[in-house]
Each structure stands twice: as structure tokens, then as C-alpha cells.
Amino acid sequence: MFALAMSLQIARIYLLKPGLNCQWIGVMTVIDRRASEEVQKRLVELTCDLIAIPSTCDRPDDIKRCTEFVIKHAEVSETLTARLICEHDVLSTVILPRGIDVPEIMLFAHLDVVSLPEGTQYLPSIRKGRIYGPGAGDMKSELAILLEIFRVFHERYPGISLGLAVTSDEERGGAYGTRYLCEKFGLRCRTAIVPDSGSLNDIAVEEKGTVHIKITVRGAAGHASRPWLADNPNDRAIVTLSKIQNHFATLQNGSGYWYPTCTVTVLQTENRVPNRIANTAEVICDIRFPAPFTIDQMLSTVQGFLDDKMELEVLVAAEPTLLSPDPLFLSVTEEITGKPVRLIREHGGSDARFIAQYGIPVMMSRPFVGNLHADDEWVDIASMEALYRIYERYLERKLIPITQR
């Protein structure tokens, strides 16, 4: 385990010094301090251990290692059934109470993190009440919270109607993880918790749609000193991209960025020398769009700017998502934090879209996080415990009769 003494020390600092961004400190008067220390220590340990596994899509062995870690720490017993599912080399884990196919509540998480530049160290560190490291906020810390709450509740209440699903391709669109589990494997639940958006008091109720496209521009190779003898695909790509982005700029409506955007994320050729014009160029764009815009509208818009030597390929496509959180979850969040809940829109997407399409209420909030998808990504430790306490109270009220609490 990672730095047990250090994590315990950090926990004590937070408990005794409420000025350190501990926005929910008011509830500490009713929570046993020793129990709080133990929860923070456990969450810090799990998060740091998970960060230390570089579970990126280009490291399948580490994806497998992280999956094994999840199964081990879920502490599957005779009251649970665990399924390891592999579709298109994407590993997913589904753990359900024995004899229950549709649990009342399902916890969803992903263990994959984005690939960072070569040489990045996948090592956790703790500074000023935060855990730093690749994937700390998206979503190794949230996975740690779900693992701990799942383990604790099945230990306290064997057979409780609570499931856990952990996938490994969310950062690549989730097609063979959560989407496959819902559409092909048939996974269902009454209510879902997906801590992959929002913040502690900010509950996501709407997400933009997503389209990732690749545009291949064909030309004719030549020497860079005689550009008139070639057909430079880079020049044509740049001109076309300028037209596309100018069009998207006209869709701005003064609503706080709640409009379609098109971002060029990759522009490349096979060239490795400076004095050659390539045969082809490839462009990858990330398009985000709110309702009432649709995938078909976005694709039709882009296609209208392409010439007959350009090909468009759809890599990922998802319509905008509307979420319906449980009112009980909102009220519990306010009780624990002592602050009102805000229902927010999110510019990013998540695997929640694959769940919500079946009319399942989805709760999306998470701890305080920052610098997502960077090597100094972080998560606030005190807010991790706050979210754990929210889940604890919500699950008890939702699933446990008063006489058994």
C-alpha cells in the first residue's frame, strides 16, 4: 500500500484545520473523527495504488493488471457474482449480488486514463490536501470511492441490491465497454451512479453530443521547391478547416459556450522530411454540440465543405444526453455539504449517455478535481470523503430499511 502514514497525516490535517478548503466541515460534528480518518486513509491508499498502474489503451497488460486490482479490492464473496467480459480486446468487470440481474443501484466507473507524452511518470504524490498524478481526477479517485463503498456495503448488508461495473475504454468512446454492456450484454439497473462529471454540489443533467471525425485529404506528391507540379493536400486541408471553423463560429449564441464547436486535434501526413509534399494529409476533429443539434446535422455540415478528393470517416458519435438524477440524491448532497445543489450542463461527454438512453436515472457528481488529462492532474482529499459520505447516506436511505440501519 502507498504511504500509509502520510495519508493518515493528511487526513488529520484536514480534520483539525477546516480552513483548508474543507467546504463540508460542518458535518464533522456528527461523524466520528476516527472513522473519518480511516475512510480518508483507505481512499488515499486506493487512489494512489490505482494511479501507480498506467492503465492507458496502449498498455493492455496494465489494463489487465488494473482490472485484477479492481476485482481483488471489491472483495467478491459467496453473495456476489463477478463476470470478466472482453469485447474487441476491451476488458470490463461486472459484479452483481447473486440472484439479482437488475440491481436497484449500479455503480459505474472506468479505469482507463488518457495516454500522456512519452516519459510521463505514473506516480502519485500528496501535497496540500490533494493527490496528484495522471488520472487522479478522471477517474482513479472516483473508482477508489466506488470500490470502497461497494465493499463496505456488501460487508454490512450481504445480498444488498448494489452492483458494480468497471470498464476500460471510456477515454476512447466507450463503444466496447459501457455501450456493449448495456446494448449487447443486457446490463440494466433501477438507478445508476456515474461519478465522471460535475463537482461535489454540481450535478450534471445535460451533456453535449460528441462526434470525432477523420478527414483524409488526397493530393499528389512532389518536391517542395516546385509546388506548382504537385497537389499539396496540406494546403487544401488548411483552407477547408478554416471554412469549417468559420461556419462553427457563426453558431455562437452568447449562452456561455453552450453551442456547437469543432476543434482540430490532429493534423498529420506520412512525411518525415521537410522538402517533400505528401500524397495525403489526415485531419482529426472533435465536434461537441448541444440539443437540439444532432449527429446528422454535424456530419452534413462538415461534408458540405469537403471536395471530391476528401473522405470523411466517423470515429465516435453520440447524441446529446439529458440526465434525470434522483431527488433523494440531491437532498442528501445538500445535507452532507451544507450547500445548495446546482444542476449544470457539461461540455464533455461520458459513458452516462449509454445508460440514460434506457430511461435510467443517472447521478453525476464527483470530488473537486483539476488539470484533467495532464500529468499534474489532482483531486481534493476532503471532497473525496464528502462524496463517500453522500453515497453512504444515499445508499442507506435508498436500499436499507430503517430497522436495519
Query: Which residue is listed with cell 459505474?
Result: 108
Q: What is the CATH number of domain 4-206+322-404?
A: 3.40.630.10
The domains of the chain are located at 4-206+322-404, 209-318
Q: Please report the pLDDT score of residue 31 as a whole number.
A: 54
CATH class of 209-318: alpha beta
User: Consecutive sets of 10 residues in the chain, 405 residues long: mean pLDDT of each?
Assistant: 36 33 45 82 97 96 96 88 96 96 97 90 94 96 98 94 97 94 96 96 95 97 95 96 96 88 95 94 97 96 96 94 95 96 93 94 97 93 97 96 69
Q: Please report the pLDDT score of residue 170 as a whole number.
A: 95
Q: Please report the pLDDT score of residue 18 as a whole number.
A: 34
3-state secondary structure the chain: CCCHHHHHHHHHHHHHCCCCCCCCHHHHHHCCHHHHHHHHHHHHHHHHHHHCCCCCCCCHHHHHHHHHHHHHHCCCCCCEEEEEEEECCEEEEEEEECCCCCCCEEEEEECCCCCCCCCCCCCCEEECCEEECCCHHHHHHHHHHHHHHHHHHHHHCCCCCEEEEEECCHHHCCCCCHHHHHHCCCCCCCEEECCCCCCCCEEEEEECEEEEEEEEEECECEECCCHHHCECHHHHHHHHHHHHHHHHHCCCCCCCCCCCEEEEEEEECCCCCCCEECCEEEEEEEEEECCCCCHHHHHHHHHCCCCCCEEEEEEEEECCEECCCCHHHHHHHHHHHCCCCEEEEECCCCCHHHHHCCCCCEECCCCCEECCCCCCCEEEHHHHHHHHHHHHHHHHHHHCCHHHC
**pTM, to two decimals:** 0.84
